[in-house]
């Protein structure tokens, strides 16, 4: 089992990022954090890097449920989704597979929630892919 779901699509980076945020919202996720890796590496290391954004996505009802079940699970939250440009208009969108990370914790509740969250994140990736 892979630790991520992924697809590669053609289009403008910014438009695909906006669409990913919309699809996450449709699946009940909000974006808590947005890290512009290209800008961060330029600012901190003065290096050029491709367009690469990390979105920290959270589904509040699921987050609440897992935090009640395991108070240290916050170390594995939020669910990260990355958008990276491999070449002009060739964009890869990837999302964490929570089923893999939650295997580290022996909890039936976490496993059930991870399965539901995995399906939602995989739906986002599949919808982006099907919009090609």
User: Could you say which of 3.40.718.10, 3.30.310.70, 3.40.190.180, 3.40.30.10 is the CATH number of the domain covering 4-130?
Assistant: 3.30.310.70
Domain boundaries, the chain: 4-130
Mean per-residue pLDDT, 13-23: 98
Helix (H, G, I), strand (E, B), or coil: what is residue 94?
strand
Name the band, by pLDDT with cuts 50, 70 and 90, for residue 121.
very high
Mean per-residue pLDDT, 11-16: 97
Sequence-distant (6+) residues with CB within 8 A of 16 are 9, 83, 91, 93, 128
Model confidence pLDDT, tens digit, residues 60-106: 999 999 999 999 999 999 999 999 999 999 999 999 999 998 888 88
Q: Which residue has the tokens 């987050």?
A: 63
pLDDT at 132 over 80: no
């Amino acid at each position: 089992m892979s630790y991520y779901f992924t697809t590669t699509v053609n289009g403008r980076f910014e438009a695909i990022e906006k669409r990913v945020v919309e699809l996450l919202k449709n699946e009940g996720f909000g974006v808590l954090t947005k890290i512009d890796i290209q800008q961060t590496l330029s600012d901190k290391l003065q290096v050029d890097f491709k367009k690469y954004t990390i979105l920290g996505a959270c589904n509040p009802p699921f987050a609440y449920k897992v935090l009640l079940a395991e108070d240290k699970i916050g170390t594995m939250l939020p669910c990260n989704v990355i958008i990276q440009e491999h070449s002009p208009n060739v964009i890869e969108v990837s999302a964490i597979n929570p089923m893999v990370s939650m295997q580290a914790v022996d909890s039936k509740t976490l496993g059930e929630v991870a399965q539901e969250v995995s399906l939602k994140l995989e739906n986002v990736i599949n919808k982006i892919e099907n919009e090609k």
